[in-house]
Amino acid sequence: MAMASIESVTLGVADPTAANRFYTAAFGLDTQIRLRASKAPTTGFRGFTLSLTVSQSATVDSLIDTALDAGATPLKPAAKSLWGYGGVVQAPDGTIWKVATSAKKDTGPATRQIEEIVLLLGVADVAASKRFYVGQGLAVAKSFGRMYIEFAAGPSPVKLALYRRRALAKDAGVSPDGSGSHRLAIGGAAGPFTDPDGFAWEAASLTPAP
């Protein structure tokens, strides 16, 4: 049996054409993230962030600069921290993106290469959500107690991780308050289901959409 993993991430956006233009210009993402028109009411923090892991700080700066040029709002300027270097921006559609590297120094010129995409869900109870997802067939890759869980990605371009909601909001530089739709649909063979925090999974189509 194949291990359950994310096959697609779909963001609900007011204007898919504009959002597609932004993601292509900002990060060079075209096939990894899907977009769907949504007018579902949502306010404040939507309970998740997307993180782009890259190989070095010059690439972090390059991706954040192109995102800001394409219309993103800065939430946290790129800076060094204990674990590496990173910054946070908010896309015009409201999705929060972190761009980060664990490398302490550059080894060459900046590239546009994204090593992995991590979907971080902010959850009320990490242990309970971990049990839920293990029950859906996802395999735990890294676990830091009740703080942070990362699941094995398998062949997927997107890895799933769980973080306490308040901690995730703090990491993103926003207030944890928010209500309404997450404006997020996760596609995978394990779906359809809704997790304990209201994040919706859909059954992924076996063939990618054209």
Instruction: Give the torsion sign (CA, 23, 25, 29, 31).
Output: positive
What is the distance, to the nearest Å, from the Cα of residue 147 to the centroid of all Cα atoms in its chain?
A: 17
pLDDT > 70 fraction of the chain, expressed in percent and rounded: 96
Q: Which residue has the tokens 């890895």?
A: 159
78 close to 99: Cβ distance less than 8 angstroms: yes
Predicted TM-score of the model (pTM): 0.94
The stretch 48-71 carries a mean pLDDT of 97
Q: What is the pLDDT of residues 69-101, one digit of tens each?
A: 999 999 999 999 888 999 999 999 999 999 999
Residues in Cβ contact with 80 at an 8 Å cutoff, skipping those fewer than 6 apart: none
188 close to 49: Cβ distance less than 8 angstroms: no
7 close to 189: Cβ distance less than 8 angstroms: yes
Instruction: Report the pLDDT value the prediction gives residue 156, as an integer from 0 to 100.
Output: 84
Instruction: Report the pLDDT value the prediction gives residue 189, as an integer from 0 to 100.
Output: 84
Instruction: Report the pLDDT value the prediction gives residue 209, as an integer from 0 to 100.
Output: 46
